[in-house]
Amino acid sequence: MTGSISRRSVHGLTLSFTLVVFASVLRSWVMTDSAMQNPPPTATPGALTVPGEAKHLKNVRQLTFGGQNAEAYFSLDDKSLIFQHQGEGVPCDQIYTITVDTPDGKPAIPELVSTGKGRTTCAYFFSSGDRVLFSSTHASSPDCPPKPDYSRGYVWPIYDTYQIFTAKPDGSDLKQLTREHGYNAESTITRDGQHIVFTSTRNGDLDIFTMNADGSSVLQLTHELGYDGGPFWSYDGKKIVYRAQHPKTPEETADYKDLLSKGLIRPGNLEIWVMNADGSNKHQVTHNGAANFGPYWHPDGKRIVFASNLADPKNGRDFDLYIINEDGTGFERVTYAPDFDAFPMFSSDAKRLVWASNRNGKAPHETNLFLADWVD
């Protein structure tokens, strides 16, 4: 989960891996009234895939057009997506839902879920379909939070005003789940609707926690110094996949602590990890030294799809999708398009894959949502 696209969660830290394409920190489409009344443009003609992608991706379809859209996640019945967007007239991410398939086959019009105030990230559907989950800074201020200080190099902001909220899919009946001071984001819920996993700085570091769906019984799962975040439950709710970056030298430790004290983090070597739902049996899945994020379980419970800049680690925007077995074997590249491909999620039956990509963009850093039939 967070992060925002150019900033997101990569899921929560809504990873802002591309300066403009990441979702705020490791994660919609705030439209004006006139925009809401007019349907989005239909897909432009031309191939939406490049050589090498046909092995796994068929019938690729573009779902959004314009701005930066990311962190799209299916509802349990796979009929809807919830995502975040920033673009013209929308200075910072807001949460929207969109219907996946329409009767006429044309792209659906996104509907606003969040308040339109502050910055939001990392949205997710409850399994019942009658509520959604997301994080927002609006309770602290209706304004967009300040951008990070890039004089410190490439850093992500860790806004300590993020709190986790739930609402009905139409945005009504807004309820606040967390109240601890600090960054509280990157939240997802088990498919049985009982437990939420999220990332928080409430204890002084960026760690992963779980809680009941009503916000009670909070339990800290990670205790290692460094960033642990972007967690997602396995389909059976027994495991959690996440991304982590732990400092390895005294210099890295000092830099991490100094930045965190200023509400910042410097992304670099993020690896994919897995642990049991209670925090036991932590084990590293990737060992490639690249920036790996946005991991999501294949419904078979054995494989993990994720984004990485492994093919071109010196390019700040070149991320592709990969799939790997939990034990680190079976590593395979999925996308080959230039620039940004990230935030993948499988449908419940593993027949479809949704993700965010720069492909077919009409403006620099434009990032849209794409849907494809998945072929094993």
- Name the residue ranges covered by the structural domains of the chain: 33-41+49-374
For 56, other C-beta atoms within 10 Å of its C-beta total 20
User: In the predicted model, what is the mean pLDDT of residues 248-258?
Assistant: 95
SS3 366: coil
Q: What is the largest CA-CA distance in the chain?
A: 59
At 92, which helix (H) or strand (E)? strand 90-99
**Range with lowest mean pLDDT among 36-45, 97-106, 129-138, 154-163:** 36-45
Structure tokens at 34: 């006139």
Q: What is the pLDDT of residue 120?
A: 97
The listed CATH number (2.60.40.10, 2.120.10.30, 2.40.128.20, 2.30.110.10) that belongs to domain 33-41+49-374:
2.120.10.30
| SS3 letters across 275-326 | EECCCCCCEECCCCCCEEEEEEECCCCCEEEEEECCCCCCCCCCEEEEEEEC
| pLDDT for residue 25 is more than 80 | no
pTM to 2 decimal places: 0.89
Backbone angles phi, psi at 212, to 5 degrees: -70, 165
Q: Vertex 364, ends 361 and 366: CA angle to 5°?
A: 45
Confidence of residue 13 (pLDDT cuts 50, 70, 90): low
Structure-token pair, residue 254: 């000092």
Q: What pLDDT was estimated at residue 4?
A: 38
CA atoms of 200 and 283, how far apart (whole Å) = 21
Question: Could you tell me if 110 and 136 are in contact, meaning their C-beta atoms sit under 8 angstroms apart?
Answer: no
pLDDT band, residue 265 (cuts 50/70/90)? very high
Residue-wise pLDDT for 165-176, tens only, equals 999 999 999 999
* ∠ Cα 202 225 198 (to 5°): 45
- pLDDT of 248 > 50? The answer is yes
Q: Is the pLDDT of residue 24 over 70?
A: no
Tokens of 229: 């975040």
Q: In this structure, are residues 202 and 185 in contact, taking their beta carbons and an 8 Å threshold?
A: no
Looking at residue 32, its pLDDT comes to 31
Q: Which residues pair with 373 in a beta bridge?
A: 58, 352
User: Containing H/E element for 310?
Assistant: none
Q: What integer pLDDT is reported at residue 267 of this predicted model? A: 80
| DSSP state for residue 259 in the 8-state scheme | H
Residue 151 pLDDT: 85
**Mean pLDDT over residues 248-254, rounded?**
96
In which element (H, E) is residue 245 found?
strand 239-245
Q: Quick one: pLDDT band at residue 149, thresholds 50, 70, 90?
A: confident
* pLDDT for the residue numbered 329: 98
- Chain position carrying tokens 């926690």: 209
- Enumerate the β-bridge partners of residue 99: 80
The confidence score (pLDDT) of residue 11 equals 59
State how far the Cα of 210 lies from the Cα of 316, in Å rounded to an integer.
32
Q: Note the pLDDT tens digit of each residue in 86-116.
A: 998 899 999 999 999 999 989 999 999 999 9
**Across 249-263, average pLDDT:** 95
- Asked whether residue 17 carries a pLDDT value surpassing 80, the answer given is no
Strands across the sheet containing 271-276: 227-233, 239-245, 271-276, 283-284
Residue 156 has pLDDT above 90, yes or no: no
Q: Specify the pairing of strand 156-157 against strand 303-308.
A: unpaired
pLDDT of residue 154: 78
Q: Kindly state the tokens that stand for 249.
A: 């030298």
**Tens of pLDDT along 120-143?**
999 999 999 999 999 999 999 999
Angle CA 182–253–240, to nearest 5: 55
What is the rounded distance in angstroms from the CA atom of residue 200 to the CA atom of residue 204? 9
In angstroms, the CA 367 to CA 70 distance is 7
Per-residue model confidence as pLDDT tens digits over 352-365: 999 999 999 999 88
**Least reliable range by pLDDT among 26-35, 263-272, 283-292, 293-302:** 26-35
Q: Higher-confidence residue: 317 or 14?
A: 317
C-alpha 8/C-alpha 23 separation (Å) is: 1
Average confidence (pLDDT) over 149-172: 92
Tokens of 366: 């434009």
